[in-house]
Chain A
Amino acid sequence: MTSKKNNESRISRIFSFNNLSISLTILWPVIFVLIPFAILTTISFLVYDDVNFFKMQFTLENYKRLVKDDYLPVLLNSLVPSLITTIITLVISYPLTFFITRKFSKKTQKFLIFLVIIPYWTSSLLRSYGIRIILGTEGILNTILIHLKIISAPLEIIYTPTAVIVGFVYLLIPLMILPLYSTMEKLDSRLIEAAYDLKASKLQTFLKVIWPLTLPGVTVGSFMVFLPSMGMFYVADILGGAKSILIGNLVKGQFLEVRNWPMGATLNTLILVFLLLFLLIYKEKSHWGHK
């Protein structure tokens, strides 16, 4: 009895300090993330007004416009660079990360992963410019290739969707490698050996053992690449010129140039749908995170 009482007084002692900070912990993301997200989504259902940005009047017109106007092909097109980027980063990162986790000591692994993170922490805007210097018509790549007589005329890569994809892969590949590394690192080599001992072929071992166990990393990595890429309007501006448009560019235009908040918010809903999809998959497999 006494120990329980003791416990309670101790709890009441830390109660006020604790509750205050716990509320603050909840309040900050609620005020600055959840409520703004809710407002943003609500505005997508309101009528456009050229004075106050929107009128308090419910409508589905914005969503209808999304399907009706020529928006849909533009919108689907804008997803293509993100999608291709996700596939390319996965194809590059998967075998390389696997190789890192199997062939190097823990210490070397940590260092190799650290080397992947450093560029990621350096201004992505400036690094896009670095890519432009390399890919430009009179850039380094063309200069070298012409010098080596591999090509006679400069390749026109810059200001094409290809340049945007190269930029995306370069900027976002660390976001694929990190989640892959954290699942592959935990993958027990003995499971693979057991599969071989039981006469599984290489392909079988991969499909039945390695792939299912690394799927969490693949899923998280893919979304970590795909989600931010949709919004990186500056990469499209710097590398893609006017030819490449992402949802990010469309949204930016609606908000800052056309000043049609409801339409911009509607376009943004598409991004939120992908975010929601990811969160649902993640929650469904929530044991992934606790492994």
Chain B
Amino acid sequence: MNAPSKNQMPSLSIRKHTIAFFSLLLLYIFLYMPLLVMVIFSFNNSRFSPTWKGFTFKWYQLLLENSNILEASLNSLIIALASSTLATLLGSISAYALYQHKHNGKSDTKTKNTILSLMFIVMVSPDIALALALFIFFNLIHINLGFTSLLLSHITFSLPYVITLVYARLKDFNKHIIDAAFDLGATPFQTFTKIIWPLIAPAIISSWFLALTISIDDVIVSFFVTGPDFEILPIKIYSLLKLGINPQINALMTIIFAITLLSSIIYYRFTKEQD
């Protein structure tokens, strides 16, 4: 009760409020308008017209008959599932190791901070720099650009998100629980599966979804590290977009948006559980 006026900002008058609400509404309209337009147009029975010419499913039909796009979608999905699963697995183990890490029996904050900084650098590195670096790297060590290079690259940019999310979760809970497990004779493996796993599962699942969405959304890195043998969706879309207007892209976008929406909601549910 120390701040009864906490909700009442003196600087905001009623009139300013209306403007603020209206601006906020405009922001959300701006954010969702292009998505909405594409969803609506995916059902529009006209190739070029920006006006409504009747409802149709034909763009979806054409999309499903387009074996090129289907193959690229399947490849994208394989990469996304494989990279997010491996990154989550590797990242969770790493986060646990980081959390447990001691040097000569003492907590080793220096190593921990170095590793976390390294993760931060990877996260904030512009995609283009990472893309070029990996492109050159794979070329020099003679890894053919395709499935393997794509998978390794996607794990690389997803891993820091997983480690950071899971580590943050681990850091928050009582360390004595783990000590207690060890005192009772549990092996590190048992401690992990019986104590730690149930506690960090929400963080792990949400980071898996995050890794999945990052992988599907990536354009720049994929563009550089994939080859003609393994075409994935963003590359396919990019070459289609250069050819001009194609309502099949709207249909594809609608499907992808539906998937993103679903996985975002699941992510949101799990992160809410964490709070």
Contact = CB atoms under 8 A, between A and B. Distances in A.
Contacts of A237: 238, 241-242
A107 to B, nearest CB: 9
B11 A95 contact: no
B31 A170 contact: yes
Contacts of B188: 13-14, 17-18
Nearest to B100: A18
A230 B37 contact: no
A39 B261 contact: no
B132 A265 contact: yes
A234 B24 CA distance: 29
A22 B93 CA distance: 9
B129 A271 contact: yes
B20 A99 contact: yes
A268 B260 CA distance: 32
B14 interface: no
A25 B220 contact: no
Interface string A110-122: 1010111111011
B191 to A, nearest CB: 9
B249 A129 contact: yes
Nearest to A92: B27
A196 B10 contact: yes
A24 B30 CA distance: 43
A252 B139 CA distance: 16
Contact of A133 (B37, B96, B252): B37
Given A96-B24, A122-B35, A189-B9, A129 B241 contact: yes
B165 to A, nearest CB: 14
A125 B224 contact: no
A199 interface: no
Contacts of A74: none
B230 interface: no
A279 interface: yes
Contacts of A127: 34-35
A130 B37 contact: yes
Interface centre among B121, B122, B223 (most CB of A within 10 A): B121
B217 A121 contact: yes
A39 B133 contact: yes
A143 B102 CA distance: 65
A36 B136 contact: yes
Residue picked from A18, A99, A123, A278, most chain B C-beta under 10 Å: A123
B48 A40 contact: no
Contacts of A102: 9, 12
Contacts of B28: 115
Contacts of B155: 28
A22 B128 contact: no
A134 B37 contact: yes
A211 to B, nearest CB: 14
Nearest to B212: A121
Nearest to A93: B27
Interface residues of B, number: 94
A138 B46 CA distance: 14
A193 B94 contact: no
Interface string A1-26: 00000011011011001101110111
Nearest to B263: A121
A1 to B, nearest CB: 14
A275 B217 contact: no
B108 to A, nearest CB: 9
Nearest to B249: A129
A39 B50 contact: no
A113 to B, nearest CB: 10
Interface in B23-78: 23-24, 27-28, 30-35, 37-38, 41, 48, 50-51
Contact of B156 (A33, A40, A271): A33
A56 interface: no
Given A22-B101, A100-B24, A121-B217, 9 more contacts: A22-B94, A24-B94, A29-B121, A123-B253, A133-B37, A170-B31, A228-B127, A268-B128, A268-B129
Interface of A: 7-8, 10-11, 13-14, 17-18, 20-22, 24-26, 28-30, 32-37, 39-40, 43, 53, 92, 95-96, 99-100, 102-103, 110, 112, 114-119, 121-131, 133-134, 136, 138-140, 143, 170, 173, 189-190, 192-193, 196, 202, 205, 223-224, 227-228, 230-234, 237-238, 247-248, 251-252, 255-256, 261, 264-265, 268, 271-272, 275, 278-279, 282
- The 7 nearest A-B residue pairs measured at CB: A231-B128, A130-B34, A21-B97, A36-B133, A25-B94, A36-B137, A32-B156
30 contacts: A11-B102, A13-B188, A14-B100, A14-B188, A18-B101, A24-B90, A28-B90, A36-B133, A39-B133, A39-B140, A40-B133, A99-B20, A99-B24, A100-B24, A126-B249, A128-B241, A129-B38, A131-B34, A134-B37, A140-B37, A143-B50, A170-B31, A190-B2, A196-B11, A202-B11, A223-B124, A231-B126, A232-B128, A233-B128, A271-B128
